[in-house]
Amino acid sequence: MAEPATATQAAAPAVPQLKDELDIVIPTIRNLDFLEMWRPFFQPYHLIIVQDGDPSKTIKVPDGFDYELYNRNDINRILGPKASCISFKDSACRCFGYMVSKKKYIFTIDDDCFVAKDPSGKAINALEQHIKNLLSPSTPFFFNTLYDPFRDCADFVRGYPFSLREGVPTVVSHGLWLNIPDYDAPTQLVKPLERNTRFVDAVLTIPKGTLFPMCGMNLAFDRELIGPAMYFGLMGDGQPIGRYDDMWAGWCTKVICDHLGLGVKTGLPYIYHSKASNPFVNLRKEYKGIFWQEEIIPFFQQTVLPKDCTTVQKCYIELAKQVKEKLSKVDPYFDKLAEAMVTWIEAWDELNPTGSSVTNGKAK
């Protein structure tokens, strides 16, 4: 059985990479005691904590961390009427942290995620591996059978086109989990005792044209190159659906990455997911999404963005238009979601007036 590492097993890196270029975003409703385990890895970095639920509750953060904390009152104050696009009573509120950050990179993690151990028993510095993934190119146009050719002891295999070996910028690093897998409610109900103990030492680029179920609990991305696409939708209080926030962001992001020539990696690093959520509660949140996704996924698979969509923002506004046109027949919720997508971009641009735009994989 996989077990989390202890704080004493986690050794801090000699020189923290991207110390002044990366924010760690954490959504929470509770005291952040879990940070003690992550202290050797997280303490050099700035934290953005997005408090969900009751804003009058005091969230305690261990001493020694550099952080800013936003609750619902802060979100309403900063965004005004546009705060309606930020979910309430749902971890989707984390995307507010992406919006207010001023750093190039974001790493986001849930507060029930602990430091995992590799097969040798060594504590895994998840953040360090995410940075490695983001700083090396992706290869979405041709699959390499040795997976990520930019890792140590790997390369492009015989037959890989030399014209494609330069790769493209990696903008998303999607990590995995030991112990509690990220299952939907029906799978949780039929496999209540299942735990993931398999450590697969691999990183691979998700090919162009292939969608994937993105999980937000162990995720890093290039905020400058793809940030406006990382909207976690309308979930939680007052909405007919939950637990599809990260899925929605992943589908939108992947379609935009494919259009702009950007890369997405999945695999390492692992975290230790400590707590299984209640499958009956999850089923209430998910049940509409379980049906809706059978129409949502074909929608994204068939989505074509016009050539004049040359920035993430333009791509996202076009996606919102197509969501309204083609998914509103599924449920009126998608009209509301499409409007929130536009509001999100307007709010993003207001808080980031000089933000980078991306054209064909290059920041401008």
Closest by CA position to 227, among listed 172, 306, 267, 167: 172
pLDDT at 276: 85
Checking if the pLDDT of 98 tops 50, the result is: yes
pLDDT at 48: 98
pLDDT digits (tens, 9 = 90+) for 266-306: 999 999 999 989 999 999 999 999 999 999 999 999 999 99
Residue 298 tokens, joined: 């074909």
Q: When comparing pLDDT for 63 and 358, which is higher?
A: 63
Sign of torsion over alpha carbons 198, 203, 204, 210: positive
* Average of per-residue pLDDT across 87-114: 98
pLDDT at 9: 67
The DSSP code for 241 is -
Strands 46-51 vs 22-28: parallel, antiparallel or unpaired: parallel
DSSP assignments along 8-58, one per residue: GG-PPPSS-TTTTTEEEEEEESS--TTHHHHHHHHTTSEEEEEE-S-TTSP
* 3 state DSSP class of 102: coil
Residue 228 tokens, joined: 């406006």
pLDDT at 189: 97
pLDDT at 364: 44
Q: 127 exposed, middle or buried (CB, 10 Å; 0-12, 13-18, 19+)?
A: buried
* 3 state DSSP class of 136: coil
pLDDT at 363: 45
Please answer whether residues 42 and 126 qualify as being in contact, where contact means their C-beta atoms are separated by less than 8 angstroms: no
* Average of per-residue pLDDT across 321-328: 98
How far from 236 is each of 90, 93, 242, 283, 362, CA to CA, in Å? 5, 9, 5, 13, 35
pLDDT at 357: 47
Please identify which residue in the block is written with the tokens 């509690």: 180
C-alpha Rg value of the chain to the nearest Å: 20
* Average of per-residue pLDDT across 97-117: 98
Residues 6+ apart with CB under 8 A from 193: none
Residue 337 tokens, joined: 């979601």
pLDDT at 356: 46
* Average of per-residue pLDDT across 195-220: 98
pLDDT digits (tens, 9 = 90+) for 6-57: 765 677 667 899 999 999 999 999 999 999 999 999 999 999 999 999 999 9
With bands split at pLDDT 50, 70 and 90, how would you rate the model's confidence at 1? low
pTM: 0.95
Mean pLDDT of all residues belonging to the chain:
95
Closest by CA position to 42, among listed 159, 130, 134: 130
* Average of per-residue pLDDT across 170-187: 98
Checking if the pLDDT of 162 tops 50, the result is: yes
Nearest-angstrom CA–CA distance, 186 and 146? 34
pLDDT at 3: 79
Nearest-angstrom CA–CA distance, 132 and 129? 5
CATH of domain 22-351: 3.90.550
* 3 state DSSP class of 95: helix
